[in-house]
Amino acid sequence: MIRRRARTIGIWLLVILALAGAGNLISAGADDEFTIPGSSSQAALDTLSRVFPQVSGASAKIVLTLPDGRDVRDQQIREAVEHTADRAKGVEHVVAVVSPYDERIKGAVSADGTAAIITVQLDVSVTEVQPVTRERLAAVADELRRDAGPGAQVLAGGDAFADRVPRLSPTEGLGLLVALMVLLITFGSMLAAGIPLLTAVLGVGLSVSLLYGVTAFTGVPSTAIMLAVMLGLAVGIDYALFILSRHRDQLRDGLDVDESIARATATAGSAVVFAGLTVIIALVGLMVAGIPFLTTMGLTAALAVVVAVLIAVTFIPALLSVAGERLRPRSPVKSRLRKINIFDHWVRLSTRRPIITILVIVLGLGAATLPAADLRLALPDNGSEAHGSPARVTYDTITEHFGPGYNGPLLVTANIISSRDPVGDMNRLGTEIAGLPGVALVALATPDPKGQVGIVQVIPDSAPDSAATTDLVLRLRDHFAGSDIAVTGITAVGIDVSARLGGALVPFGLLVVGLSLVLLTMVFRSIAVPIKATAGYLLSVGAAFGATALVFQHGRLTDVLHVSHTGSVISFLPIILMGVLFGLAMDYELFLVSRIREEYVHTGDADHAIDAGFKASAPVVVAAALIMFAVFAAFVPDGSATIKPIAFALAVGVFVDAFIVRMTLVPAVLRLLGDRAWWLPSRLDRALPSLDVEGEGLTRELALADWPAPDADDIVAVAGFTPDVLRIGAGEIVEIVGEPAVTRDLLYAIGGRVTDLPGAAKTLGFVLPQRASAVRRRAVLIRCPALAEPGRETVTAACLAPPLLLVEGLDRISGRADRDDAQRALRAAARTGTTVIVTARDHDPRLDATRTIDLDPSEVYA
C-alpha cells in the first residue's frame, strides 16, 4: 500500500464511484415489511392474500369529524360520504371501499355522531403503496371536506399513509462535527483529524451503495440501511483513529514514516481486524433468532463493518503515506503531560479503594437496570409517527372518537369451505368473539365471496402496542385452540414478531457471552479477565435497557429527546443492542487491557502494569468512545420511530461501557485481583490458540531481530532464566541439571510449551512466546516421567533427527541398557545436526554432553 499508494487510492475511489452508480441504477428500493415465517398469524395472512385479497393488503382511512351540533348521519353528510366512497374506488390499487353506513359494518360512526370512518382497502402491502396513491386519496379527502360544509375536518391516514422510512437529517451532521472536535483535540492537527472522517464517510457511501444494489435481488429494510450508516460511521472513525494514533506516537518517537506506517498497520491494524471480527460475529449471530428481516439487518450492518475494516487496513495506510512528514507531531510535550496527568488521577482514584469502586458501580448499574423490567416490545405503528404527520393526526383522531383499538383491529380467520351456512356461521362466530373480555366490538363478520374463508374484524378496547391487546390475542388463540380459526392482521403479526424476538434473547445472550469468554481467554491468557469483561458487558447492556425504558416506556425526557410516542420500543432493539454493544465493548476491553497485560508481561508488577497500561491506552479509548457516543446520539433528536430508540440505547450503552465499566470498574477489579488476574491453568494455556491481536508479536520480533547478536545462528537463545544469556547452537547436546520443577519450566519455555516468559527467548529463529506454535511444530518433546517406555520413545524420536529434541527427565529412564540405548541415539542425532537438550536431577557423564548447566533455583529469573 505504501509503495503503490497512488494506485491503492485510485482503485478505492473508482470502486466507490462505480458501486455508487451501479447501486443507484439497479436499486429496487428498501422493503420495510416485517414478516415472521412459521407463525400462525403470518400463515393466516398469507392465506388471505390468496383467497381474500380485499382484506390482506394495506388500508387507508378517511376520517370525517364535525363540530358539536352536527351529525354525520344527516342526509347531506351521508350523501357526501357516499360520493367520496365512490370516488375512492377509482383510485389505482384500491380493491374495496367500506362506507361507514354499510349495514355489515359496526362502529364506523362514533357514538355521538360527530365522526365517521371510510375504510379504503388496497391490493398492495404497506411498503408498496406509491406516493401517487396517497396523493389521490388525499385529494378525495379534500373534496369531502368541501362537500361536508363549515366546521368539517377530513383526515386521510391509516397504514397506507405511514412513513416509517428513516432518513438522514442535518442533526446527524452534528455527530460528525463533534467527532471532528474530538479528533482535533486528540491530534492537534486538522490533517490528522480529517483522515478518519474522510475514510469513514467514504466507507459508509460504499456500504450504502452495495446495500441499495442488493435490493435488486432481495428485500433490505430501510432501518437496516440506516443502522449500517450509523454503525459504519462510528466504527469507521474509531478504527482509523486507532491506526493513526499508533502511527503518530511512533513518529513522535522518531521512527521513519514508511516504517511507522508498516508497524502501525501490523500492530493497531491487527487489533482493528480483531475488533471488527467481534462486531461482525455478533451481528451475524442475529441469525439465531430465525427471523428473515432481523438476519438481513445483522448481515447489512456486518457489511458496513467489513468495509470499515478493509478501508482501515488498506486505504488509510496509503493516505498516511501521502501525508508523510506532515503527520509528525511538532510540539507534543505539553499536551502529552496534560493527558498523562488527567488519566493518572483517574486511575489512581478508581483503584485507591477498589472494593468501594466495585460496589458503587455494580450496585449503581444494577439499580439503573431495574426499569428494564417494564420494557415492552412492539413494532412501530401510526401512533409512533411524528406529531403533525397525516398518519399520526389520523391515529389520534380515531383514538379520540372511536377508542384506541380501532387503530389496530385484529382479524380472526376461519376455514368455512365445508360450511352449509357460511353467513350464519360467521355471524355466530362474531357473536361469540364479541363476548370475550378485551373486545370493544366486532366490526365485521363475513365470508369471502367464494365461501372458502371467513373473517371477523375484532376491535380491541386497548391500543395496538399495549399489553392488554397482546393478552387479547393470546386469549383468542387459547379460546379457539385446536380449530381452524387463526388470529392475524398487522397487529397480531407485530405481537408474534415481538414474542419471537423476546424468545431469541436468551439463546443470543448465551451466544455472545460464551463467545466473549472464549475470545478473551485466548487474547489475555487469563480466567478472571474474561469473566470480568463479560460481567461488565452485561452491566452495560442492563443500564442501556433501563435508560431506554425510562425514556420510551415511562416518558422521562421525552421533550428534550423529541420522543413522540411512549409505551413500547421497537421489537428488535434488545437483540440489536446486545449484538452491537458486545462488539464495541470487546473493542474497548481489548485496547485498554491488552496494554495493561503487555506491561505486566514485561515487568511482572501488577500494580505498575495497571497504572502504566491505563495511561498509555486511555486517551485513545476516551477519544474513540466520545466519537462513538456522538455519532449514535446525533441520530436521536430527529431520528425515525425505529432508529431513535436504537440510537439512544447504543449511545447510553457506549458511554456506560467505556467510561464506567472499562475505564473505572476494570482497573479496580484488576487492582483487587493483583497477580491472580493473569492466572491461567497451564493445560488450558497450551490447548488454546494464541491471538496476537495488537501486533505485540511483530513489535517483539522487530525488537529482537538482531538479538542476541547480529547474524546469530543459535538454535536456542534464552535470557531471564539464568544470569547470562543461554545460547545453544546446532548439533549440541546440553544437559540441564537441577530440581525438576525448575528445569521443566526452562525446557518448556524453550519448546514453546509455556507463554509466560520472564525475558527474551528465541528457538529455531522464532521469537517466543509469540511464535510458540511454530516452534512446537518443529521441536520434539519427550516427557520421560509421563511415559511407560521412555527409553524406547527417546530412541524413536532421536532416529527422526528433528532440528530440536527436548528430553524431560532423562534420568527417569529405568534400566541401564535402556538408558545407554537412549544416550547413544541422542549422540547419533546430534552428529546429524539435531540440537539435543535434556533435563535431569544429576549430571550423567555417560551422556557425553557438550556442556552441563547447573540450574540454581536462587538464580532463576535473575
Q: What is the CATH number of the domain that holds 849?
A: 3.40.50.300
- Is 489 in the same domain as 501? no
At 122 the pLDDT is 85
- Is 721 in the same domain as 805? yes
- Residue 860 falls within a domain, yes or no? no
At 381 the pLDDT is 73
- Sheet strands (E) in 498-649: 569-570
- Positive/negative CA dihedral, 45, 49, 51, 54: positive
Pairwise CA distance, residues 645 & 636, whole Å: 7
For 598, the enclosing helix (H) or strand (E) is: helix 573-603
Please, are residues 277 and 197 in contact by the beta-carbon 8 Å criterion?
A: no
- Positive/negative CA dihedral, 650, 656, 657, 663: positive
Question: The domain spanning residue 140 has which CATH number?
Answer: 3.30.70.1320
At 671 the pLDDT is 93
pLDDT tens track for 409-436 = 888 888 888 888 888 888 898 899 988 9
Pairwise CA distance, residues 297 & 580, whole Å: 11
Look at residues 161, 187, 204 and tell me which one is the last residue of a structural domain: 161
Amino acid in the structure at residue 729? G
At 827 the pLDDT is 93
- Is 574 in the same domain as 642? yes
Number of H helices, E strands in the chain: 28, 19
Please, are residues 408 and 381 in contact by the beta-carbon 8 Å criterion?
A: yes
Q: What is the DSSP letter of 108?
A: S
Say what the alpha-carbon torsion angle 565, 570, 574, 575 is, to the nearest 10 degrees. -160
For 153, the enclosing helix (H) or strand (E) is: strand 153-157
- Residue 17 falls within a domain, yes or no? no
- Residue 2 falls within a domain, yes or no? no
At 418 the pLDDT is 82
- Is 842 in the same domain as 731? yes
- Residue 408 falls within a domain, yes or no? yes
Look at residues 460, 493, 526 and tell me which one is the last residue of a structural domain: 493
Strands 410-415 and 453-460: antiparallel
Pairwise CA distance, residues 676 & 742, whole Å: 21
Close Cβ partners of 137 (under 8 Å, ≥ 6 residues apart): 60, 62, 88, 91, 120, 156, 160, 161
- Residue 820 falls within a domain, yes or no? yes
- Is 516 in the same domain as 637? yes
- Burial (CB count <10 Å: 0-12, 13-18, 19+), residue 525: buried
- Residue 399 falls within a domain, yes or no? yes
Close Cβ partners of 131 (under 8 Å, ≥ 6 residues apart): none
Q: Which of 399, 410, 180, 218 is nearest to 296 (CA)?
A: 218
- Is 412 in the same domain as 266? no
N- to C-terminal Cα separation, the chain: 44
Buried b (16+ CB within 10 A) or exposed e, 103-124: eebbbbbbeeebbbbbbbbbbb
Alpha helices by DSSP H, listed for 656-803, are 666-673, 682-687, 696-703, 740-750, 772-778, 790-799
Helix, strand, or coil (residue 806): strand
At 45 the pLDDT is 65
- Is 318 in the same domain as 458? no
- Residue 22 falls within a domain, yes or no? no
* Residues in the chain, pLDDT under 70: 1-5, 20, 22-57, 127, 163-172, 331-340, 383, 601-602, 638-640, 686, 690-702, 755-758, 857-862
- Is 114 in the same domain as 209? no
Q: What is the DSSP letter of 810?
A: G
Give residue for cell 422521562: 556
Query: Can you give the residue range of the structural domain that contains 553?
Result: 8-12+167-376+497-674
Q: Facing residues of 823 across strands?
A: none
pLDDT tens track for 49-97 = 665 655 666 788 889 998 888 888 888 888 888 898 889 888 888 888 8
Q: Rg of the chain's alpha carbons, rounded to an integer?
A: 35
Please, are residues 459 and 370 in contact by the beta-carbon 8 Å criterion?
A: no
Pairwise CA distance, residues 515 & 579, whole Å: 11
Pairwise CA distance, residues 618 & 612, whole Å: 10
Please, are residues 76 and 412 in contact by the beta-carbon 8 Å criterion?
A: no
Helix, strand, or coil (residue 445): strand
The domain total for the chain is: 4
Q: In the β-sheet with 726-728, what is the strand arrangement from edge to edge?
A: 726-728, 716-718, 761-763, 766-767
- Is 506 in the same domain as 598? yes
At 50 the pLDDT is 63
How far, CA to CA in Å, does 44 sit from each of 35, 250, 414, 493, 494?
12, 64, 9, 10, 14
- Residue 134 falls within a domain, yes or no? yes
Question: The domain spanning residue 435 has which CATH number?
Answer: 3.30.70
DSSP letters spanning 454-522: EEEEEEESS-TTSHHHHHHHHHHHHHTTTSSEEEESHHHHHHHHHHHHHHHHHHHHHHHHHHHHHHHHH
Pairwise CA distance, residues 482 & 485, whole Å: 8
pLDDT tens track for 272-306 = 888 888 888 888 887 877 777 778 888 888 899 99
Q: What angle do CA 306, 310, 313 make, to 5 degrees?
A: 140
- Is 295 in the same domain as 412? no
Nine-digit cell string for 767:
521469537
Please, are residues 700 and 263 in contact by the beta-carbon 8 Å criterion?
A: no
- Positive/negative CA dihedral, 740, 741, 743, 746: positive
Look at residues 161, 182, 204 and tell me which one is the last residue of a structural domain: 161
Say what the alpha-carbon torsion angle 558, 559, 564, 569 is, to the nearest 10 degrees. -20
- Is 482 in the same domain as 562? no
Pairwise CA distance, residues 717 & 244, whole Å: 35
Helix, strand, or coil (residue 665): helix
- Is 398 in the same domain as 367? no
